Structures are given as structure tokens and as C-alpha cells.
Amino acid sequence: MQTLILSQSIQSPLTPLSAHPMRSIRLVLALTCTLSVLAQAGETPPVPSFAKELPKVKSGDPIFQFNQKDLTGMYVYTSKNKLEDPQKVFTVKDGLLVISGEDLGGITTKEEYSDYHLVTEWKWGGRTFAPREKASRDSGILLHCVGADGAAGGQWMESQECQIIEGGCGDFIMVGGKNKPSLTCEVRMDAGQPYYEKGGTSITRDSARYNWWGRDPLWKDVLGFRGERDVEAPTGEWNRMEVVCDGDTITNIVNGFVVNVGTKSSLTKGKILIQSEGAEILFRKIEVRPLIRK
């Protein structure tokens, strides 16, 4: 059983999985302290307190997990080749799921899930492909996927997206298919763009995005972009991204920090899809853990 509170379950991506959890806690807290020191020096704003308020939920043993051997329990779908993969966009090598990014598409769970704690560990690879060869590395985890494969853009499914992109990990994007899913978020507005902020103005959308709280307002779609407040690890280093789907609430967590929370999701159950979107990305862990109700 996992309890998703800071004192028990969050592990640093820099720490081996077998390491003592208290070591991982110290690393997360060290990162918080480092950012706070930089803020006092006028270099980086502090991490907001709500980013450290992890959801107090419990989850059980995985009901789905990447077995580090093959694609059991998942299937591929790409823009060019649909249910076939002659380009080998999705492969397993040395215990890692390797997504080349060469064709737009995704790898999707065969089963649907609701009320779960998704745990992933991933890092960027070195390859990028046109038309995003020189753009920021891009991928994403699509949650509550429903409807037909390819209904969104010819390669994805109607869903709520937890974005994975350099500088924007944890953004929400409402991905329309046959219908347009909606999501509510508390935000602050900056130059007309919404950034997650607990206690901010509550707005509801069925398109576009909600930025995570620390996304750089000067973000540019260029390869290797990093914002001054990014909690995503540098390219080539492991990240731990977790998503808690609890009823109609979705909480995105990156390396131990809550980066975005959406509520009143019009979608609450569906498949889970990991995107191929022009950049190589590698996963060493994908787990779906059911939430345990008292």
C-alpha cells in the first residue's frame, strides 16, 4: 500500500528505487530549500506552499504495470500506420520502454481505469524528429481516454492530458475527440494565460491549456528550453511523474511537487495513453495503483 503524503511515498528520481524513502524525502526537501535560498537572493521565486500539499490518499498494489520486457497490456496507434508499428516507434530495450517520437501516436492501455494513482518514471532521450526536430521535446500522458483511436488529430484519443514538454511538465490540455472534455482549475492570470494557483479564480474550459504554477512566462518552443522555476530534471536525468485521479479531480505531481490540480472533469474513466510527439522519451516505470477507500 502507498500513502501519497510527503512523509511516506514520494521518491526522488535521483535515488535508486531500492533506497530508503527518508533519503528521497531529504532530497525533495533539499530542492525546496535550494529554491528558497535562490529566491532570497533575488534569483528565483519561492516554491508556493500549496505545491508541497500532496493529496492524502492511499493506493494499493499495481493493477497494471509495465513489465520491462514487452508491451503486454498495451497497444500502439500511430498517424501513419494505425495499429501497426513498422517504424518501431515503440520498443522495449534493456528494461526500458523506448518511444522514439518518429511518428505521431501513442501507446495505450487495453483496459480502462478510474480512481487511481499513476506512477511513472521517465527521461528524455537524444533523438528528435521533424517537424519538431528543433522544437522543445514534447510528449504527454493522456488520461481518461474515451472514444475511437485517432479521433484527436488522427493519432490520439479524446482525453485530459497531463503534459510532458520541456518547461511545461504538468500542464493540463483538454484533448477533444468526438466531444470536448471540460476541466475546472483555480488559476492566476498572467498576460491572458491561466497558471494554476490554489485559491485563485476558478475557471472552466473545454479546450486550450492550464499552465502549471511555475511555467516560465517567457517560454519558447525551442529545443532544450528550461525555465527558472522548472522542477523537471535536466535532459537525460530521470523524472518521477505521478497523477492521482480521484473521482472528477486530477492532481499532477512532478518530482514530489504538486504542479497542477483540475476538478470537475467531465471525464472520470478511460484508457491511459503515452504520446509519441517528435522527441525520444524513455520510461522505466509505469504503474496504475487503485485508490483505497476507507
Instruction: Give the pLDDT band (50/70/90) at residue 4.
Output: low
Mean pLDDT calculated for residue range 267-284? 98
Cell of 193: 494565460
Instruction: Give the pLDDT band (50/70/90) at residue 195.
Output: very high
Q: What DSSP assignment string belongs to 158-203?
A: EEEEEEEETT-TT-EEEE-SSS---EEEEEEEETTEEEE-TTSEEE
What is d(CA 65, CA 54) in angstroms, rounded to the nearest whole number? 23
What is the pLDDT, as a whole number, of residue 2? 60
Residues in CB range of 15: below 8 A, 6 or more apart: 23, 24, 27
Mean pLDDT calculated for residue range 35-41? 43
pLDDT, tens digit (0-9, with 9 covering 90-100), for 237-269: 999 999 999 999 999 999 999 999 999 999 999
pLDDT, tens digit (0-9, with 9 covering 90-100), for 199-222: 999 999 999 999 999 999 999 999
Phi, psi of 36 (to 5 degrees): -65, -40
Mean pLDDT calculated for residue range 112-139? 98
Residues in CB range of 12: below 8 A, 6 or more apart: 23, 24, 27, 28, 240, 255, 256
- Taking residue 208's Cβ as centre, other Cβ atoms within 10 Å add up to 10
Pairing of β 183-190 and β 193-196: antiparallel
Of the listed ranges 36-50, 56-70, 104-118, 150-164, the one predicted with least confidence:
36-50
Of the listed ranges 14-23, 106-115, 197-206, 263-272, the one predicted with least confidence:
14-23
Using the structure block, give the residue that is written with the C-alpha cell 484533448.
175
What kind and span of H or E run contains 138?
Answer: strand 138-146
Torsion of CA 74, 76, 82, 84, to 10 degrees: -100
Outline where the chain has alpha helix (H).
21-40
Integer CA distances (angstroms), 173 to 21, 70, 194, 195, 244, in order? 32, 29, 12, 12, 16
pTM over cut 0.75: yes
pLDDT, tens digit (0-9, with 9 covering 90-100), for 63-99: 999 999 999 999 999 999 999 999 999 999 999 999 9
What is the pLDDT, as a whole number, of residue 3? 56
**Starting at the edge strand that comes first in sequence, how are the strands of the sheet with 201-205 ordered?**
193-196, 183-190, 201-205
Using the structure block, give the residue that is written with the C-alpha cell 485559491.
199
What is the pLDDT, as a whole number, of residue 45? 80
Mean pLDDT calculated for residue range 117-132? 98
The domains of the chain, with CATH numbers, are: 64-290 (2.60.120.560)
What is the pLDDT, as a whole number, of residue 1? 62
What is d(CA 46, CA 168) in angstroms, rounded to the nearest whole number? 18
